[in-house]
A and B are shown apart, each in its own frame.
Chain A
Amino acid sequence: AQSVTQLGSHVSVSEGALVLLRCNYSSSVPPYLFWYVQYPNQGLQLLLKYTSAATLVKGINGFEAEFKKSETSFHLTKPSAHMSDAAEYFCAVSLNTNAGKSTFGDGTTLTVKP
């Protein structure tokens, strides 16, 4: 079984501040982990993914995430928030044993204040 927990349904930061969106997962086998972003009135698009090659993963738009097995976490960070980062962010986990189906977190809405 697999599950994902995103801590904080809403996160608000000032422009230029650090962005930290939290994701914890649960799985019985090594996971594949994803962060997706959804801008208003659009579908989801991939920000970055962890597929066991490197624990620190860099994605688009300056985002990165670090896989920490001991903490079962895959938190998303960006050093300096931009107004255009305002969106909803989803963490997802997928396993070899689960027919490729991903389980998505409930999402975190990021607000960036000027």
Chain B
Amino acid sequence: DVKVTQSSRYLVKRTGEKVFLECVQDMDHENMFWYRQDPGLGLRLIYFSYDVKMKEKGDIPEGYSVSREKKERFSLILESASTNQTSMYLCASLVGRDRGPYNEQFFGPGTRLTVL
């Protein structure tokens, strides 16, 4: 079974702090994604990566950056956390060099981040 793990289930940070969210997948998937989930807004794509050191902006990249130095690990970085970044963050992976639009994404359990 594909397993996607996220470094923390719950995280509390203060405004202005630099925050790192880590995601690791164990199935050698090429593609990885970061979403944020807010009530009534579904999942919104922040960034995704289709290969090591490659990244593309999603729909809401402002205030975030990402890093993918190894194939299995995809990090989301909040350079200076703000209260409006309080949310559930979900990481996902997807197999396929062609970005596999017909394949399903595998999700981690999520990190609930609170910024005070």
Contacts and interface: CB of A to CB of B under 8 A. Distances in A.
Contacts of A105: 42
Interface of A: 9, 32, 34, 36, 41-46, 49, 51, 90, 94-96, 98-102, 104-107
B109 A51 contact: no
A23 to B, nearest CB: 12
B101 A46 contact: no
Q: Is the interface on chain B under 10, 10 to 19, 20 to 34, or 35 or more residues?
A: 20 to 34
A45 to B, nearest CB: 7
Contacts of B110: 41-43
A94 B101 contact: yes
Interface in B22-46: 31, 33, 35, 40-43, 45
A101 B45 contact: yes
B99 interface: yes
Contact of B90 (A34, A43, A100, A101): A43
A17 B109 CA distance: 30
Most chain A CB within 10 A, of B58, B92, B102, is at B102
A98 to B, nearest CB: 7
